[in-house]
Homo-oligomer: A and B are copies of this chain.
């Protein structure tokens, strides 16, 4: 065979196909996962682009270090230390080409073919796709309203060759669910007991519009804690700037080697640009603006769902982030519903790609960050007609 087993076993991108169908401008799409353009501080970024070229000259265009731009790593370290009482240094941070690359690198340095990976069920499809390339056996553990099911998690952790677990503790993609404080502590205790790498991915944590900020599950507590973050949801996804935080020095050493062989280093022009933006602007005020908008949009969607959805349809009520997760009565197919909804010119993402191995599930994902409250309300009304 001409190709590798890994690529032949990777599912074709379901979401891409869906997004193609939903690009018709007459369709109200809740299918995407794009941040609202309000999150791009365009004028400030333009000023930063000019300033770094004027002040730094050739350095912003030359090859650079694999680990990433020091002022940017320092900003990230300071922010997490301040907000979460962590004690990390720039040496604990690797800047990646979006946090998607972090998923690729983690799998690259940890997985042999057939090794096991614990994932949330349902889980983030971009992570499932990235890990798939390294041919693991997935061990999906049910994600409940409060976080991972503890019995199933321990069962999974007891297996051999479990290399790591991947979780999204805040406003998870696709469900919008957030782990409670108690569940975080219980999950942490299990990882401590089994001495397994815990990867916490937190792209949405800053976008909390309700409730109290919670401590991370493993960051600052577990020896093999890995925390992922990104500027995609609060500044710009187009520049592909994410980061890995880990105080496990051996793991970091391997991640840097893998990063070097994958793309040498992350776009240094963009790293300078974002670092300059962060140094010259009030980042938190900007984030607050995004969060306020998402609160309004989420409330519009939830209130329309309360009004129009039949009682047998259940859904999550996120405290932040970008998604709501809907569960149809057992036995119903979200894929069938998708076809009916498209006739009503409303789109969402059927749940299938968020499961490693299940198909024709009764769940689907709604995104609310890219429509006005009026459009959201009207879209939910039309969707309810086919429920």
A residues near B, CB below 8 A?
A: 2-7, 10, 12-13, 16, 34-35, 37, 40, 42, 45-46, 49-50, 53-54, 57-58, 60-64, 97-98, 100-101, 104, 108-113, 115, 126, 129-130, 132-134, 163, 197, 232, 236-240, 254, 257-258, 260-270
Contact = CB atoms under 8 A, between A and B. Distances in A.
Nearest to A37: B58
B42 A61 contact: yes
Contact of A46 (B37, B49, B101): B49
Give the number of copies in the complex. 2
A10 B264 CA distance: 15
A269 to B, nearest CB: 5
A280 B3 CA distance: 41
Contacts of A129: 260-261
Nearest to A163: B2
A50 B46 CA distance: 6
Given A61-B40, A109-B4, A110-B2, A240 B263 contact: yes
A65 B70 CA distance: 29
B62 A10 contact: no
A269 B269 CA distance: 10
Contacts of A268: 238-239
Contacts of A261: 10, 100, 104, 126, 129-130, 132-133
